[in-house]
């Protein structure tokens, strides 16, 4: 069965949305294989976001991700990589569809694109790489 890395980002944890987000994941039928609260350091984040190095939002993104604890989840299920990204909605919560995590819970102001509550791996290769990073 397929596995993906899901992160509840610092905004999701700080806004007490962990339970709400987990409820949506569980309602979909995905299996929580492993879950932990982590304070990620710069080393971990720079590896996690290596593909975005050099982009204008890279430095603020790392700063934001370092700003508080994150919930890291090893999630399993049929086509869970694509399925979770569909559950999460598009990157920018201001345009994410209603019914999605970002569309329903994301805030329509400020740094909405950056503070978009969750992360989900985007391919099988990425999922393997990211799961190895966050869960030995």
Q: Which residues are catalytic?
A: 119
Which residues neighbour 32 within 8 Å (Cβ) at sequence distance 6 or greater? 22, 25, 26, 73, 74, 75
Contact 31, 75 (CB under 8 A): yes
Contact 109, 92 (CB under 8 A): no
Contact 33, 5 (CB under 8 A): no
Which of the ranges 12-20, 39-47, 71-79, 109-117 carries the binding residues for ligand GTP, by CB under 6 A? 109-117
CB of 12 to Mg ion, least distance (A): 16
Residues annotated in the binding site, as ranges? 9, 57, 85, 91, 102, 116
Binding test (CB under 6 A) with ligand GTP, winner from 87, 119, 127, 130:
119
Residues 108-127 that bind Mg ion (CB under 5 A): 122
Residue listed under structure tokens 């971990």 = 44
Residues 77-106 that bind Mg ion (CB under 5 A): none
Instruction: Rule CB under 6 A: say whether 48 interacts with ligand GTP.
Output: no
**Residues that contact Mg ion, how many (by CB under 5 A):** 1
Q: Rounded CA gap, 88 and 102, in Å?
A: 6
Which residues form the interface with ligand GTP (CB under 6 A)? Answer: 57, 60-61, 91, 111, 113-114, 116, 119-120, 122
């Amino acid at each position: 069965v397929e596995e993906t890395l899901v992160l509840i980002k610092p905004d999701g944890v700080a806004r007490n949305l962990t339970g709400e987000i987990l409820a949506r994941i569980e309602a979909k039928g995905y299996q929580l294989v492993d879950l932990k609260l982590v304070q990620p350091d710069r080393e971990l984040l720079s590896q996690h976001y290596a593909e975005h190095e050099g982009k204008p939002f890279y430095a603020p993104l790392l700063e934001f991700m370092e700003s508080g604890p994150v919930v890291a989840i090893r999630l399993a299920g049929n086509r869970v990589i694509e399925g979770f990204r569909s559950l999460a909605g598009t990157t920018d919560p201001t345009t994410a569809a209603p019914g999605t995590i970002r569309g329903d819970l994301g805030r329509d102001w400020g740094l909405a694109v950056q503070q978009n509550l969750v992360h989900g791996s985007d391919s099988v290769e990425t999922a393997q790489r990211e799961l190895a990073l966050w869960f030995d």
